């Protein structure tokens, strides 16, 4: 049965298989990045490990990032912090569609806006009491579907509870850096 473009029987079967073999749930995602010039650089996303094996997509996904002209950047792509907002909106929306399908709720429209406030006195080294990153992020969802307002709002809440990006952004994650120089 397919609802919202989600094949729910395959989704449930997948979850059942992973329940019996938790090693299939171990994933590793990757991105590589190459500096181009100034604050302009480009990431490539393709292979990942998961469900017990390595996966390669048919084509590489490439994303440019840069700083804006007001920060003496070249504006050859969004800023790195804008990609965080995209990741958050995308994660909540993907999860929401799966959850709505699992609950038998047909959706007709889901859109969202994400805003992040940041005081650049941190990264510019002007005020050490100001954090480098966003001080807060707001997500605004609008959704329509064949369900009550309460049922639709509950989809967003359940998606939040199961969102990988929400978890990382609100709780943080250990990150290590290794450098080969010279």
Please select the residue that binds a copy of itself; options are 1, 104, 106, 115, rule is CB under 8 A. Answer: 115
Verify binding: residue 39, a copy of itself, rule CB under 8 A.
yes
CB of 11 to a copy of itself, least distance (A): 5
Please select the residue that binds a copy of itself; options are 54, 56, 129, 149, rule is CB under 8 A. Answer: 149
Helix (H) or strand (E) holding 149: helix 149-161
Q: How many residues bind a copy of itself (CB under 8 A)?
A: 132
Residue 158 CA to residue 156 CA, distance in Å, equals 6
Q: Token pair for residue 93?
A: 């929306």
Cα torsion for 159, 43, 32, 70, to the nearest 10°? -100
Verify binding: residue 170, a copy of itself, rule CB under 8 A.
yes
Please select the residue that binds a copy of itself; options are 1, 54, 56, 122, rule is CB under 8 A. Answer: 122
Helix (H) or strand (E) holding 42: strand 40-45
Verify binding: residue 80, a copy of itself, rule CB under 8 A.
yes
């Amino acid at each position: 049965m397919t609802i919202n473009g989600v094949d729910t029987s395959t989704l449930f079967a997948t979850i059942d298989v992973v329940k019996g073999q938790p090693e299939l749930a171990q994933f590793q995602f990757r991105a590589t990045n190459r500096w181009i010039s100034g604050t302009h650089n480009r990431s490539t996303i393709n292979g990942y490990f998961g469900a017990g094996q390595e996966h390669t997509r048919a084509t590489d996904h490439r994303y440019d990032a840069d700083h804006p002209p007001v920060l003496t950047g070249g504006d050859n792509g969004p800023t790195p912090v804008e990609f965080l907002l995209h990741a958050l909106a995308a994660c909540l929306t993907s999860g929401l569609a799966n959850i709505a399908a699992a609950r038998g709720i047909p959706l007709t429209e889901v859109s969202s806006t994400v805003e992040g406030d940041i005081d650049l006195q941190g990264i510019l080294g002007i005020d050490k009491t100001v954090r480098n990153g966003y001080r807060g992020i707001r997500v605004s969802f609008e959704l329509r579907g064949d369900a009550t307002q309460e049922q639709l709002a509950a989809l967003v809440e359940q998606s939040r509870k199961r969102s990988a990006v929400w978890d990382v952004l609100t709780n943080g994650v250990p990150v290590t850096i290794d450098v080969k120089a010279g």
